[in-house]
């Protein structure tokens, strides 16, 4: 049991964690996750893959919105850019999927400059709307640039071999997503402990004050845009592997709102919170559905025409209730629980 | 020229709808700082309730409208009381998230009660043709434009000249000081929701009369969202004008350029305008002090 | 504190382990049951048609079960909601596969069907596409995928041909408003074919975004082009909205539409505007003699509430389910997917209880019921009357 926390050197200050117990837990968790495909059927596995990809996307968005304080409603646009990049490079240009996935990140990051530069003066919801506008323009382009993107026909991706993995098999796709997620988490955590990460937070907390302290707003805001979009683009690229057939219907405004919901529900500015939020938002409809499946047969018979609305209703209410209990998101709930555990029996 | 005027009229009709919803967004944002993602759903709920009132009671429009206004105000106030009030004092993001949850809930509730089919909203007003020079409009389309003008004027007068309107402006400017001056800030939030429900609800009715009342009406809310940003989130009247602009620009670009630009043109205009005025066309410039 | 990796809670959430039961004989077949699956838009704006298709397949299953099932086994229909989103069609199919499913009849809307084709091929799942005909599903032939019904190309082209031959005056001008997705592409395909084969005078096609409801500018544009014939390519309530705008300018139009325009709620919306329009279909309309048997069994099998959800799309769901059940029946005591596919493409006719002529598939031709009849729809009178015989286009 840890009773306190003392940092005695800069090295320790910089380390991800100084506690061997944490490392052990993390290792056990990763091992458990890696074995996950052996335990469950295809459906749960595909849900888990969705969670993983959503978590990567949510981390990306959290870097921009939660950490740097730049609200984005353009998640769908960056996801679409990444997804189409990977899909088209693999399907039409015969790129190896490994490179195509990286390209998704770079294309998305470059695009973020296009939107980032003109958005530098904007704040809050006005920035949100330019990112929203951007995502509409992107999907419009994808739909109408038929020669490049197949337009309304959508893109089909086949023959996916990734570093020896056969991505048409769900378990192998799951491992890839898991690996990318772990890399993303590590990268994000490390970024946050550097000068760049602290600059991001300073901009969020007070941009004028940050500038006074010598942080170039232009440079760091653009950097936040690029880093975030790179990660989101990678998540989009993974979506191409997951669905193998993609079209613009995948990238509607609701995706952007859902992404925002993930980081709010999970906890703004927290990497672990992003993951928790993704888990919550993706699993919520599944949980509700499992719940309605448990209802007595007579009742479901009666509900047969409306069972989908009942599910929607419960999903909405669950979000509301969750926020009523813990307005700071799941990560707040987690911290409270941890504090209670650590200080027991003195905790209140 | 005739064609142009007709495009213009057609854009004004749909723009009036966007404008009304945008006013709803702005009223809530201005007074409480919350972006209400459920505005489209509230609008849809009011439209459905009105549809039931109209078909059950068979009232003339003159009586229906006041009844609807009362019902909408009650709906707005009730939603605020149940879902928003308990969140008072919590982070704004959490409250915005609650409105997203509310949106999901309302969408399902409406289908549960009224079913998934679209139905016509028939009122005695509907179906007549009105010719203004070369422009032809259905009476219900003209009604939408008139409704917009009346509501915009009413909102203007309300905020400018009534005691409670002034109190709302005061709260928007400085909540704590308003509180000290004896303004009941809690009631203000409820009032904002009621007003927003009435204004956007009227848009819902006008739209349902023009097209149909259907369970995908909520989407109008998202379409009106850019309008309110264009006009300035904290400027109800500006947001209304933003709606008109988005409608007209959309129809003109569809008419003269095509290529599905109807949806995109509004966004392009927004990007351009925000480059010049980062706080919207009619929004207030915020002065910052460190 | 730097305990950033403390997200061990995920472990608890993630280990929702459910071990899938290994299939004994064939996927979806147990001692007492055979499961047939649907993935359909049961919610969203397309729920009107998705639910109808679901209940159609339920009627077929109930009918078979009432006669004692299929070689001693009951037919169970399992339906997953995809909310009209292709990605969720994939998820829905995966869910069905996990729980065990023999074959698939509802395959989502157009893009959803396209999205699950790779899985259907990979897993060799017999499927009868009937909800939203998609050419790519059977051209080129996929080993286990079949389709009932003419594509939108044929459905709309049949009407254009009829209008060109019988209705429109010489030199009439043709316009089209279509959605800017895969569905719209198919509708415009028919239009372009008419331009090529019938030599009609076409004006520039107009596209609109999915979800759009106001068509003022679109109609004005076509009015300026002085069109006489309009292909109104709305999915559901868009079509009446186009008619409304057209009626404002008292445009004299012959209109071609897609089959949803014969659904009662859509006809109800179109009624005030005074247009008698055309539609095309490969099955008998509801209320006609061909649908009589279905209507009867539906009354026995569905509750009053559910009957309200029944419409034209129930008929296609019914026919597809009926064929799948018959194919399984012909396989005898131990049905396998391979056998069902073999039976489906055997060339032997399948009876559809009068909804269509008996249908056949062959190994080279996985599509049936492609003959289209042009219908004249009078929404005011509430009537849908065939004006041609079934013919191939």
- Could B118 and C269 be called an inter-chain contact, meaning their C-beta atoms sit closer than 8 Å? yes
What pLDDT is stored for residue C342 in this prediction? 95
Place of tokens 């003195």: A346
Q: Does A346 fall in a domain?
A: no
Instruction: Note if the bond before C144 is cis, omega within 30 degrees.
Output: no
C265 vs C16, more confident: C265
Give, rounded to a whole angstrom, the gap between the first and last alpha carbons of chain A: 19
Contact A215, A201 (CB under 8 A): no
Q: Which two tokens stand for residue A243?
A: 């669905």
The dihedral through the CA atoms of B210, B213, B214, B220 has a sign that is: positive
- Could B260 and A143 be called an inter-chain contact, meaning their C-beta atoms sit closer than 8 Å? yes
B257 touches chain A (CB under 8 A): no
What pLDDT is stored for residue C16 in this prediction? 36
> Is a pLDDT exceeding 60 seen at residue C11?
no
Query: What architecture is the C22-149+288-362 domain classified under in CATH?
Result: 3-Layer(aba) Sandwich (3.40)
Residues 6 or more apart whose CB falls under 8 angstroms from that of B163 comprise none
Interface with chain B: mutation pick from A72, A116, A131, A133, highest number of B CBs within 10 Å: A133
Two domains, one topology: C22-149+288-362 and C153-281+374-386: yes
Strands across the sheet with C145-148, in order? C74-81, C33-40, C103-107, C127-129, C145-148, C367-368
Phi, psi of A227 (to 5 degrees): -60, -45
Closest CA to C129 of C387, C369, C383: C369
> Is a pLDDT exceeding 60 seen at residue C81?
yes
Q: How many other CB atoms sit within 10 Å of the CB of residue A192?
A: 18
Q: How many other CB atoms sit within 10 Å of the CB of residue B192?
A: 27
DSSP three-state, residue C374:
strand
Query: Could you give the dihedral angle defined by the CA atoms of residues C370, C373, C377 and C381, in that order, rounded to the nearest 10 degrees?
Result: -120
What pLDDT is stored for residue C15 in this prediction? 37
A158 touches chain C (CB under 8 A): yes
- Could C5 and A18 be called an inter-chain contact, meaning their C-beta atoms sit closer than 8 Å? no
Beta bridge mates, C175: C230
Global ipTM = 0.88
- For C2-6, C316-320, C385-389, which range has the lowest pLDDT when averaged over its residues? C2-6
Beta bridge mates, A156: A245
- What is d(CA C150, CA C368) in angstroms, rounded to the nearest whole number? 8
- Chain Cα centroid distance, residue C276: 24
> Is a pLDDT exceeding 50 seen at residue C12?
no
Contact C61, C73 (CB under 8 A): no
> Which helix (H) or strand (E) is C378 found in, with range?
strand C373-378
Contact C109, C69 (CB under 8 A): no
> Is a pLDDT exceeding 70 seen at residue B112?
yes
Q: What is the mean pLDDT of residues B108-128?
A: 85
- Fill in the DSSP letter of residue C166: I
Q: Give 3-state DSSP helix, strand, coil % of chain A, rounded to 5.
A: 75, 0, 20
Residues 6 or more apart whose CB falls under 8 angstroms from that of C183 comprise C109, C110, C132, C152, C233, C235
What pLDDT is stored for residue C9 in this prediction? 38
Give how far Cα C223 sits from Cα of B5, C172, C184, C255, Å: 14, 13, 21, 14
Give, rounded to a whole angstrom, the gap between the first and last alpha carbons of chain B: 54
CATH number assigned to the domain with residue range B2-276, chosen from the 4 options 1.10.10, 1.10.238, 1.10.3470, 2.40.50: 1.10.3470
User: Mind listing the pLDDT tens digit for each residue in B8-53?
Assistant: 999 999 999 999 999 999 999 988 888 899 999 999 999 999 999 9
Model confidence at C246, pLDDT cuts 50, 70, 90, reads very high
> Is a pLDDT exceeding 50 seen at residue A211?
yes
User: Mind listing the pLDDT tens digit for each residue in C194-211?
Assistant: 999 999 999 999 999 888
> Which helix (H) or strand (E) is C138 found in, with range?
none
Phi, psi of C20 (to 5 degrees): -75, 140
Contact A82, A234 (CB under 8 A): yes
Q: What is the mean pLDDT of residues A42-65?
A: 94
Domain borders along chain C are 22-149+288-362, 153-281+374-386
Model confidence at A347, pLDDT cuts 50, 70, 90, reads low
Model confidence at C8, pLDDT cuts 50, 70, 90, reads very low
Out of C220, C248, C265, name the one closest to residue B117 (CB): C265
Strand-pair category, C383-386 with C33-40? unpaired
- What is d(CA B206, CA B126) in angstroms, rounded to the nearest whole number? 10
Contact A81, C125 (CB under 8 A): no
Total domains in the fold of chain A: 1
Mean pLDDT of chain C: 88
User: Mind listing the pLDDT tens digit for each residue in C32-41?
Assistant: 999 999 999 9
A89 to chain B nearest CA, in Å?
26
Q: What is the mean pLDDT of residues A286-292?
A: 83
Give how far Cα B50 sits from Cα of A154, B55, B61, B66, B198, Å: 41, 8, 11, 11, 11
Contact C232, C256 (CB under 8 A): yes
Contact C346, C151 (CB under 8 A): no
Contact A47, A36 (CB under 8 A): no
Out of A126, A130, A261, name the one closest to residue B97 (CB): A261
- What is d(CA A78, CA A144) in angstroms, rounded to the nearest whole number? 17
Out of B219, B250, B251, name the one closest to residue C211 (CB): B219
- What is d(CA C79, CA C101) in angstroms, rounded to the nearest whole number? 11
Contact C168, C379 (CB under 8 A): no
Residues 6 or more apart whose CB falls under 8 angstroms from that of A326 comprise A332, A333, A336
Q: Does A33 fall in a domain?
A: yes
Out of C10, C91, C180, name the one closest to residue A143 (CB): C180
B105 to chain A nearest CA, in Å?
4
Model confidence at A305, pLDDT cuts 50, 70, 90, reads low
- Fill in the DSSP letter of residue C33: E
Chain A residues with beta carbon closer than 8 angstroms to that of C14 = 32-33, 36, 48, 279
Q: Which two tokens stand for residue A81?
A: 């850019």
What pLDDT is stored for residue C376 in this prediction? 96
B5 vs A312, more confident: B5
Contact C207, C230 (CB under 8 A): no
A244 touches chain C (CB under 8 A): yes
Q: What is the mean pLDDT of residues C224-247?
A: 94
- Fill in the DSSP letter of residue C204: P
Residues 6 or more apart whose CB falls under 8 angstroms from that of B153 comprise none
Q: Which two tokens stand for residue B216?
A: 């995908």
User: Mind listing the pLDDT tens digit for each residue in C266-289?
Assistant: 999 999 999 999 999 999 888 888
Strand-pair category, A161-162 with A165-166? antiparallel
Instruction: Read off the pTM.
Output: 0.88
Model confidence at A301, pLDDT cuts 50, 70, 90, reads low
- Alpha helices (H) along chain B: 2-32, 39-57, 61-79, 92-114, 139-161, 163-173, 175-180, 185-210, 219-231, 236-256, 261-276
Q: By residue range, what is the domain housing residue A145?
A: 18-250
Give how far Cα B14 sits from Cα of A317, B26, B145, Å: 32, 18, 9
Give, rounded to a whole angstrom, the gap between the first and last alpha carbons of chain C: 73
Q: Which two tokens stand for residue B82?
A: 């149940």
Most confident of A91-95, C133-137, C180-184: A91-95
B2-21 residues touching C, CB cutoff 8 A? 3, 6-7, 9-11, 13-14
Beta bridge mates, C185: none
B254 to chain A nearest CA, in Å?
14
- Fill in the DSSP letter of residue C146: E
Residues 6 or more apart whose CB falls under 8 angstroms from that of C243 comprise C232, C255, C270, C273, C275, C277
What pLDDT is stored for residue C208 in this prediction? 92
Which residues on chain A place their C-beta less than 8 Å from a C-beta of chain B? 118, 121-123, 125-126, 129-130, 132-134, 136-137, 140, 143-144, 206, 208-209, 212, 253, 257, 261, 264-265, 268, 306, 309-313, 315-320, 323-324, 327-329
What pLDDT is stored for residue B262 in this prediction? 85
Most confident of A106-110, A298-302, C389-393: A106-110
Mean pLDDT of chain A: 88
Contact B228, B242 (CB under 8 A): yes
- Could B138 and C244 be called an inter-chain contact, meaning their C-beta atoms sit closer than 8 Å? yes
Give the chain C residue whose CA is nearest to the CA of B252.
C217
- What is d(CA B195, CA B218) in angstroms, rounded to the nearest whole number? 18
A234 to chain B nearest CA, in Å?
26
Q: What is the mean pLDDT of residues A247-252?
A: 85
- What is d(CA C73, CA C333) in angstroms, rounded to the nearest whole number? 9
Q: Does A60 fall in a domain?
A: yes
B26-85 residues touching A, CB cutoff 8 A? 35, 37, 83
Phi, psi of A247 (to 5 degrees): -145, 175
What pLDDT is stored for residue C6 in this prediction? 40
B62 vs B6, more confident: B6
Instruction: Note if the bond before C71 is cis, omega within 30 degrees.
Output: no
Calculate what percentage of chain C has a pLDDT beyond 70.
94
B190 to chain A nearest CA, in Å?
18
Contact C41, C108 (CB under 8 A): yes
What pLDDT is stored for residue C3 in this prediction? 41
B258 touches chain A (CB under 8 A): no
How is A9-62 classified by DSSP, letter by letter? SHHHHHSS---HHHHHHHHHHHHHHHHHHHHS-HHHHHHHHHHHHHHHHHHHHH
- What is d(CA C220, CA B250) in angstroms, rounded to the nearest whole number? 14
In words, the CATH class of domain C153-281+374-386 is alpha beta
- What is d(CA B285, CA C92) in angstroms, rounded to the nearest whole number? 49
Residues 6 or more apart whose CB falls under 8 angstroms from that of B131 comprise none
Give how far Cα C16 sits from Cα of A41, A53, B78, Å: 11, 18, 39
């Amino acid at each position: 049991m840890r009773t306190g926390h003392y940092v005695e050197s800069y090295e320790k200050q910089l380390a991800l964690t100084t506690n061997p117990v944490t490392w052990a837990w993390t290792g056990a968790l990763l091992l458990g996750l890696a074995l996950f495909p052996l335990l469950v059927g295809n459906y749960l596995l595909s849900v888990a893959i969705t969670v993983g990809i959503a978590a990567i996307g949510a981390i990306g968005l959290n870097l921009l919105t939660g950490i740097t304080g730049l609200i984005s409603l353009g998640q769908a646009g960056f996801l679409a850019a990444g997804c189409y990049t990977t899909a088209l490079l693999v399907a039409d240009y015969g790129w190896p999927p490994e490179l195509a996935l990286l390209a998704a990140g770079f294309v998305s990051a470059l695009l973020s400059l296009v939107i980032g530069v003109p958005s530098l003066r904007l704040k809050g919801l006005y920035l949100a709307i330019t990112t929203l506008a951007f995502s509409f323009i992107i999907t419009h382009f994808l739909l109408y640039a038929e020669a490049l993107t197949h337009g309304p026909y959508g893109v089909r991706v086949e023959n996916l071999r990734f570093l020896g993995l056969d991505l048409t098999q769900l378990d192998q796709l799951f491992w890839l997503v898991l690996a990318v997620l772990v890399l993303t988490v590590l990268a994000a955590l490390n970024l946050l402990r550097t000068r760049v990460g602290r600059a991001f937070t300073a901009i969020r907390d007070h941009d004028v004050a940050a500038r006074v302290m010598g942080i170039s707003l232009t440079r760091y805001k653009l950097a936040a845009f690029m880093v975030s979009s790179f990660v989101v683009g990678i998540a989009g690229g993974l979506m191409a592997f997951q669905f193998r057939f993609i079209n613009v219907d995948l990238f509607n405004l609701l995706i952007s709102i859902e992404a925002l919901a993930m980081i709010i529900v999970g906890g703004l500015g927290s990497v672990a919170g992003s993951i928790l939020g993704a888990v919550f938002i993706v699993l919520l409809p599944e949980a509700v559905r499992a719940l309605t499946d448990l209802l007595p047969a007579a009742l479901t018979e009666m509900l047969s025409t409306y069972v989908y609305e009942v599910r929607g209703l419960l999903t909405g209410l669950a979000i509301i209730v969750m926020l009523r209990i813990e307005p700071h998101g799941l990560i707040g709930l987690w911290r409270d629980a941890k504090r209670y555990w650590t200080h027991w029996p003195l905790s209140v | 020229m005739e064609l142009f005027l007709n495009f213009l009229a057609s854009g004004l009709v749909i723009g009036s709808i966007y404008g009304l919803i945008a006013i709803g967004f702005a009223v809530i944002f201005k007074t409480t700082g919350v972006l209400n993602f459920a505005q489209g759903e509230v609008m849809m709920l009011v439209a459905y309730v009105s549809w039931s009132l109209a078909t059950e009671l068979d009232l003339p429009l003159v009586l229906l409208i006041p009844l609807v206004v009362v019902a909408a105000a009650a709906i707005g106030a009730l939603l605020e009381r149940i879902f928003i009030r308990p969140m008072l004092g919590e982070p704004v993001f959490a409250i915005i998230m609650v409105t997203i949850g509310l949106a999901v809930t309302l969408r399902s509730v409406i289908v549960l009660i009224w079913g998934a089919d679209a139905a016509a909203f028939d009122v005695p007003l509907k179906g007549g043709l009105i010719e203004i020079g070369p422009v032809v409009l259905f009476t219900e389309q003209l009604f939408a434009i008139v409704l917009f003008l009346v509501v915009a004027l009413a909102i203007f007068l309300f905020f400018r000249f009534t005691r409670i309107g002034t109190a709302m402006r005061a709260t928007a400017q400085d909540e704590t000081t308003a509180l000290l001056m004896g303004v009941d800030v809690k009631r203000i939030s409820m009032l904002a929701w009621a007003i927003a429900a009435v204004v956007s609800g009227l848009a819902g009715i006008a739209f349902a009369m023009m097209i149909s009342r259907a369970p995908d009406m909520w989407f109008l809310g998202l379409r009106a969202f850019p309008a309110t940003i264009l006009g300035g989130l904290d400027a109800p009247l500006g947001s209304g004008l933003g709606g008109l602009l988005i409608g007209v620009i959309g129809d003109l670009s569809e008419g003269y350029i095509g290529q599905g630009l109807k949806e995109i043109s509004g966004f392009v205009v927004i990007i351009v305008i925000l480059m010049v005025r980062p706080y919207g066309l009619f929004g207030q410039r915020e002065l910052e002090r460190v | 504190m730097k305990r950033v990796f403390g997200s061990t809670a995920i472990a608890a959430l993630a280990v929702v382990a459910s071990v899938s039961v290994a299939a004994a004989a064939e996927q979806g077949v147990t001692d007492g049951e055979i499961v047939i699956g649907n993935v359909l838009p049961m919610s969203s704006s397309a729920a009107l048609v998705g639910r109808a298709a679901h209940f159609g397949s339920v009627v077929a299953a109930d009918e078979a079960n009432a006669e004692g099932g299929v070689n001693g086994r009951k037919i169970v229909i399992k339906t997953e909601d995809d909310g009209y989103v292709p990605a969720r069609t994939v998820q829905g199919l995966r869910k069905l596969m996990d729980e065990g499913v023999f074959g698939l009849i509802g395959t989502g809307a157009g893009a959803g069907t396209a999205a699950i084709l790779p899985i259907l091929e990979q897993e060799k799942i017999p499927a009868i596409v009937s909800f939203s005909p998609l050419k790519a599903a059977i051209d080129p032939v996929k080993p286990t995928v079949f389709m009932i019904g003419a594509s939108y190309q044929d459905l709309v082209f049949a009407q254009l041909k009829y209008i060109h031959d019988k209705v429109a005056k010489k030199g009439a001008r043709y316009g089209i408003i279509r959605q800017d997705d895969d569905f719209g592409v198919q509708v415009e395909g028919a239009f372009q074919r008419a331009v090529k084969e019938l030599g009609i005078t076409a004006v520039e096609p107009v596209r609109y975004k999915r979800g759009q409801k106001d068509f003022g500018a679109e109609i004005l544009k076509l009015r300026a082009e002085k069109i006489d014939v309009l292909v109104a390519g709305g999915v559901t309530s868009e079509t009446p909205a186009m008619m409304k705008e057209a009626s404002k300018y008292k445009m004299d139009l012959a209109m071609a539409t897609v089959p949803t325009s014969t659904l009662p709620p859509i006809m109800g919306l179109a009624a005030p505007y005074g247009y008698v329009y055309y539609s095309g279909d490969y099955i008998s309309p509801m209320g006609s003699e061909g649908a009589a048997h279905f209507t009867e069994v539906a009354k026995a099998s569905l509750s009053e509430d559910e009957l309200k959800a029944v419409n034209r799309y129930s008929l296609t769901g019914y026919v597809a389910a009926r064929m799948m059940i018959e194919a399984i029946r012909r396989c005898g005591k131990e049905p396998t997917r391979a056998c069902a596919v073999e039976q489906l493409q055997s060339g032997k006719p399948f009876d559809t209880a009068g909804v269509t002529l008996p249908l056949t598939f062959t190994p080279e031709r996985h599509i049936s019921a492609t003959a289209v009849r042009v219908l004249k729809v009078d929404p005011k009178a509430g009537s849908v009357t065939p004006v041609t015989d079934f013919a191939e286009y």
